[in-house]
Amino acid sequence: MFVAGIDENGLGPKLGPLVVTGALFETDGDGYEPSRFGEALEGATALGGARVADSKAVMSASAMGPGETTVLALASRLRGDATRTDGEFLEAFCHPPPSAWRDACPPEGRTLCFGPDAPLGLFGADLANARELGARLAPAMASAGVTLRAVHAEVLCPARFNRTLEEEGNGKARLDLAAFERRIRAFAGDAGEDALYLCGKVMNLAYYTPHMDLPRTHPLLQRSESKRASVYRFQDLGEVRFLLDGDRDHLPIAVASMFGKYVREIFMKRLNRFFAGLFPGHRAVSGYGDPVTRAFLRRALPLLDARRIPRACLLRNG
């Protein structure tokens, strides 16, 4: 059976990308047993403070190192040591990869996202610890009957975010949910007709069918909707569950959340590196509506205009 966790990172900020990530697992059982994922991930990651959990709990702005260690350990199960820089990591786990959409960006704006690559360990991860943890994950996951098959992170940069909002005109919930559905469709070919897709709740909605495209291509067989769990079974696809606090309670969603958080923070790190080269004493910004970010925007927007960098490459409209 295939089980995928899907979650988003960065729906609310004014700066930086929205990232929607899916993590696909294969299990040797006939149903979803959350305890198997606990056995496969929690025991093996009890090393140096690393653990799999909701990214908000283990990857705060001031303490990203242990979460980065866990992400790099999980990444090693898929790519070995092939990803040594942030650019290689993005190419490996973004779907589509940055190389596929970089040339569509305005030339003046590319420097915000596509500066020089930097070695992994951006946030203080212990790389030796990550390698050891990755080696420990293999037998732990095998003994629990769980295999991590793929991780796909879709990146909606501010320009794409703004353009999609304007073209579709259906608000952030629809934009976000459409990216969730793209992750489901991307996995469906490998996962077969009876997979389980565990999703974090999108903006705490209860009723998803008015916002979904999946019923147009896969007849809806069953549904159950509430504030806590909205569950849909589709013909030739499987079951899709939107779960309140899903990233806290379900490790497949937590893995997606951690990868997505790491991808988003790589892009924010690049953004901050760009402006650190222009502003003496630049303070790193989170992109949220905090005082540091607001002060940064007052200083940064005139500079963008002077350099003919489109504001849409930095600032979201929604």
- Record the tokens describing residue 71, joined without a space: 């992400």
162 belongs to a structural domain: yes
Query: What distance in Å separates the CA atoms of residue 144 and residue 24, rounded to the nearest whole number?
Result: 16
Tokens, residue 88: 């290689």
Q: Which domain holds residue 11?
A: 2-269
For 216, half-sphere exposure in the C-beta direction (CA atoms, 13 angstrom radius) is 6
Count Cβ atoms below 10 Å from residue 23 Cβ, excluding itself.
31
> Who wins on pLDDT, 149 or 59?
149
133 belongs to a structural domain: yes
Q: How confident is the model at residue 45 (pLDDT cuts 50, 70, 90)?
A: low
The pTM score is: 0.94
CATH number of residue 236's parent domain: 3.30.420.10
Q: What is the DSSP letter of 38?
A: I
Give the largest CA-CA distance in the chain.
60
What pLDDT, on the 0 to 100 scale, is given for residue 58?
76
Is the pLDDT assigned to residue 122 strictly greater than 80? yes
> pLDDT exceeding 90 applies to what percent of the chain?
58
Instruction: For residue 318, tell me if it sits in a domain.
Output: no
- Is residue 137 in some structural domain? yes
* Token pair recorded at residue 79: 């790519």
For 261, list phi and psi in degrees, rounded to 5: -60, -40
Average pLDDT over residues 16-25: 96
- Confirm if 275 and 313 have CB atoms less than 8 A apart: no
- Closest by CA to 241, choosing from 215, 276, 268, 206, is 206
Distance (Å, whole) CA 59 – CA 64: 5
- Structural domain contains residue 294: no
* Interval 218-243: pLDDT, tens: 999 999 999 999 999 999 999 999 99
The sign of the CA dihedral 120, 125, 126, 129 is negative
pLDDT score of 44: 58
**In the block, residue with structure tokens 């900020």:** 13
- pLDDT tens digits, residue range 273-315? 999 988 888 899 999 989 999 999 999 999 999 999 999 999 9
Whether residue 305 lies inside any domain: the answer is no
Mapped onto helix, strand or coil, the DSSP state of residue 132 is helix
What is the per-residue DSSP string for 70-127?
A: HHHHHHHHHHTT---BHHHHHHHHBSS-HHHHGGGS-GGGHHHH-----BS-TT---H
Other Cβ atoms closer than 10 A to 183: 26
Task: State the burial class of residue 151 (Cβ atoms within 10 Å of its Cβ: 0-12, 13-18, 19+).
Answer: buried
Query: Residue 175: inside a domain, yes or no?
Result: yes
Query: Does 123 map to a domain?
Result: yes
Number of domains in the chain: 1
